[in-house]
Amino acid sequence: MASLPFSALSLFFSLCVLLVSPTHSLTCTSQKFTGNKSYSNCTDLPNLNSYLHYTYNSTNSSLSVAFIASPAKPGGWIGWGINPNGTGMAGAQVILALKSSKGAPEVKTYNLVSYSDIREEKLSFDVWDLSAETNATSGEFTIFASVKVPEKTESVNHIWQVGAAVNKGKPGKHEFAAENKDAKATLKLAAAAQETGKTAATTTTPASGSSNTTATGGGKSGSFRIKEMNVGFCFAVFVLLASFIDLPTLTSYLHFTYDAANSTLSVAFFASPSKSDGWISWAINPKVAAMGGAQAMVAFKDTTGVMTAKTYNISTSMPYSVVQSKLAFDVWDTRAEEESGVMRIFAKIKVPPELAATGTLHQVWQVGSSVDAAKGELTIHEMGASNLNSKGTLDLNGGKIVSSGGLDSRTKRKNIHGVLNAVSWGLLFPFGIVVARYLRTFPSADPAWFYLHVFCQVSAYAIGVAGWATGIKLGSESKGIQYSLHRNIGIALFSLATVQIFALFLRPKKDHKYRLYWNIYHHGVGYVILILGILNVFKGLDILQPGDKWRTIYIIAIAVLGGVAALLELITWIVVLRRKSSKSTKPYDGYGGQSRA
């Protein structure tokens, strides 16, 4: 009878062993893959029950990986990525695995250009053999991929993450528990021995500096080391917040999602302090869009230099007192980060019922130059126009902000930039093309159409250059935020238009043998400018968010111009066909023999 407990205990452990999935063992060394896949190295990652298997081929600088993890919940996602230029999210090249709408696992790649520009697209380096599989028993996902890495690399800073949900084919936000925040490490890769059975030792060093070493097998350790390369991405901001606001003052930005079902507002506020040791703040004022009575969240560096987030209550009467305390409403998941001089505050807020009923909030934001971190006392901020006008009303449902003060100089420059480019690339250039294409069909319009065409295009170019210059200036002032696609299209437009203008001086005469080729070039570049110009106006409207009426006005204007062009196209063809039917002996070059451009 004395052996009964021991026998029962043995049976229990035997059953546990039988229930463990082959790919969900305690260490990576016991994990197996389908299709006879194998890797020279593996490591048990220190967080999120994740594992990384990899083989580095020094002959072609390729890294083959298998990343294993379980989504936070069934129907969630896992991710691993490479950042060629840094250790954070911005610039990361990401590989994610999730279930498609049909339930089958699929792999997607994301280019995290900046905190506001996340694109599902090809990565900046070569990636091949992408695939994913799931384990029905354990619920684990596995990402398989091979990537091209720079030659002579020695170590890898990598970050991994898991999420709980997928919304319309896009990964939802992850949790912000300690293990999510600490899912990053430096991985020292050794070249796997080419002989079967020989594997290299791997070392994973967490970002905090402690190390976890896992030997993956016997044999000789490879001597080749990969030079440092930053690998990974941070999902701290990659949470697909529904709305993004470019705040009108202090070079500040607000990402937010409002869940009306439980009156919860999730926010991420970005700004640069006046000085490196300063502070940033974002607040809700339950009564008015003003500082007095605001309930504020403030981010600054503590006495050890680590970013921290605190809550402050501002008195309703002057002189204002700023007291560190709990706010008038519930706030949780507050934290702060800093990267490249840009501070970020993250928080979740329970919107009071009276404010939730209106669908709007009075918000105030501010930056300061210094703080007494030991006492938590903030120095007073500057009193410039930008500081005094950093307030507004936030539409929780529409993602819009109505400034409560006058426009500061930066907002005015943004508006000027938008107007100049909409008029030049979005209206004048298309109008000049319509003039050249259709009016020269009629002999009576010659040479008036030519001079009108030149006037329109030169004027559009001059106005466009002014708009382009203001855009470059605005971009240099927007630390941590980059509208890469909008910027790149703008640069392309400026370059093509410059070539187009100067090509006017190289235009051959009508009877020159190279005139045909010049026409092909001139018309081709012109139509490329037409398409890119209109596209970039809409990209600019998405960024500036001036209001639906302005988008509607531009759509109507371009639609009217398009309608006129369609009508003139019909009339032109009628004229051409009638000329052909009359069997005129005058040669026709496609434009009524009046080609000048």
| Tokens read off for 369 | 């130059």
Strands, DSSP E only, in 58-139?
62-69, 77-82, 92-99, 105-114, 117-120, 127-134
> Which domains occur in the chain, in start order?
27-230 (2.60.40), 243-403 (2.60.40.1210), 409-581 (1.20.120.1770)
Question: Which pLDDT does position 70 carry in this prediction?
Answer: 92
| Tokens read off for 326 | 């709990």
Start-to-end Cα distance in the chain: 105
Q: Specify whether the CB–CB gap between 28 and 187 falls below 8 A.
A: no
How large is the angle between the packed helices 515-544 and 548-581, nearest 10 degrees?
A: 160
**Read out DSSP for 3-59?**
THHHHHHHHHHHHHHHHS-TTSSSSGGG---GGG---SEEEE-SSTT-EEEEEEETT
Find all residues with CB under 8 Å of 129, minimum gap 6, and list them: 64, 144, 145, 146
- Half-sphere exposure for 483 (CA within 13 Å, toward CB): 21
Between CA 568 and CA 192 the distance in angstroms is 69
Residue of 114, 142, 115 whose CA lies nearest to 130: 142
Q: Specify whether the CB–CB gap between 267 and 346 falls below 8 A.
A: yes
- pLDDT, tens digit only, all 597 positions of the chain: 444 444 443 434 443 433 343 334 457 888 888 777 888 888 888 888 899 998 888 777 788 899 999 999 888 999 988 877 766 666 778 889 998 877 788 899 888 776 556 788 888 888 888 999 988 888 899 999 988 877 777 777 778 889 888 887 788 777 877 787 788 877 776 544 333 333 333 344 444 333 333 333 333 323 222 333 333 333 444 444 556 677 888 888 888 888 888 888 888 899 888 888 899 999 998 888 788 888 889 999 888 888 889 999 888 776 677 888 888 888 888 888 888 788 999 988 888 888 888 888 889 999 988 888 777 788 888 877 778 888 888 888 764 444 444 454 566 778 888 899 999 999 999 998 998 888 887 777 788 888 898 899 899 999 989 988 888 887 776 654 567 788 899 999 999 989 888 887 888 888 888 888 888 888 899 899 999 999 999 988 877 767 678 888 999 999 999 999 899 888 888 887 887 777 555 554 544 444 444
Tally of CB atoms within 10 A around 498: 13
Find all residues with CB under 8 Å of 431, minimum gap 6, and list them: 456, 561
Question: Which pLDDT does position 190 carry in this prediction?
Answer: 56
User: Before 319, cis peptide (omega within 30)?
Assistant: yes
Question: Which pLDDT does position 475 carry in this prediction?
Answer: 76
Between CA 228 and CA 226 the distance in angstroms is 6
Question: Which pLDDT does position 240 carry in this prediction?
Answer: 47
Question: Which pLDDT does position 192 carry in this prediction?
Answer: 42
Element (H or E) spanning 539, and its range?
helix 515-544
Residue of 381, 387, 383, 418 whose CA lies nearest to 405: 387
Question: Which pLDDT does position 12 carry in this prediction?
Answer: 41
Question: What is the pTM (predicted TM-score) of this model?
Answer: 0.39
